[in-house]
Amino acid sequence: MRTTVMESKRIVVKVGTSTLTHPNGHLHLGRMEALVRQLSDLQAEGRQLVLVTSGAVGAGMGRLGMTQRPSETRLKQALAAVGQGLLMHRYEALFAEYGRAVGQMLLTRQDFEDAHRREIAAGVFDQLLAWGVIPIVNENDSVSNEQIRVGDNDTLAARVAAMIGADLLILLSDVDGLYTEDPRGKTGLSPLAEVATDDDLEAMAGGAGTATGTGGMITKVQAARICAGAGIRMVLANGGAPGVLRSILAGETVGTFFGEVAGI
Ligand code: GLU
């Protein structure tokens, strides 16, 4: 139920490249600013926030004047090495304006699969949150190849949410939510307000993805399944909508809520 969303204390918010960067790869400062302001406000209400951010590769492209996202892993890793610092620099400056401190957590698949490493990472998250620091998470792209990476930040965010025992995961994308059919090029369709994770979500998600992000809709459904397995609620909403986080936490019907009938 949406009322359980309002009560969430420990919240992971994931924001995708399509929300954070312009199509040419440059950081979308207006969106970042709005996001940081809302996160700071929510923290002031006594909630604990973790931000999972994409955009390292995109920001690296913008910095080096590349307009085409390369497909070769080594190039993306090198671009992430350039862009991750730019991303953090920007977040650090924006959060500092609201008197908030941030901490960078770069993770890879082994940090979830190896119990010892998982425990170490979870302990650091707990410490940061206890200090009131906002952890900013991304995959450690520069040293992660196909064999050892999570691969997309929707899954990464869901795994972080499970690792730290979050109450809620919010995925911000460039779509308004989950639709029963691909909404692109069609008018008059609205996203589903609520879906149960025992529905055939994969069929609904088929092809209805975003043009610029890594994951598309399938990874969002996968994230919903990880959350359902861990008893975590999830909302998928449009990161470009003004005040979207505030609206979600106020219990408004924004985006798609996952988990209702499954009893979460
Ligand atoms: N970690 C990648 C980046 O920061 C993005 C992965 C994703 O968008 O899912 O560019």
Q: What pLDDT does residue 214 have? A: 52
Q: Please say whether the beta carbons of 135 and 51 come within 8 A.
A: yes
Please state which CATH class domain 2-258 belongs to.
alpha beta
pTM for this predicted structure:
0.92
Mind listing the pLDDT tens digit for each residue in 128-152? 999 999 999 999 999 988 888 998 9
Residue among 26, 90, 152, 173 whose CB has most ligand 1 atoms within 8 A, to mutate: 152
Q: What angle do CA 15, 231, 213 make, to 5 degrees?
A: 20
C-alpha torsion 81→87→88→93, nearest 10: 150
Q: What pLDDT does residue 1 have? A: 60
Task: Kindly report the protein residue whose alpha carbon is nearest to atom 5 of ligand 1.
Answer: 54
Identity of the highest mean pLDDT range in 19-28, 71-80, 174-183, 196-205: 71-80
How big is the chain by its Cα radius of gyration, in Å? 17
Q: What pLDDT does residue 211 have? A: 39
Q: Which of 179, 150, 168, 149 is nearest to 48 (CA)?
A: 168
Average pLDDT, the chain: 90
Enumerate the domain spans of the chain.
2-258
Would the CB of 141 count as within 6 Å of ligand 1?
Answer: yes
- Cα separation, 162 vs 145, in Å, equals 23
Mind listing the pLDDT tens digit for each residue in 163-174? 999 999 999 998
Q: Which of 46, 52, 48, 37 is nearest to 11 (CA)?
A: 48
**10 has which bridge partners?**
48
Look up residue 13 and give its amino acid. Answer: V
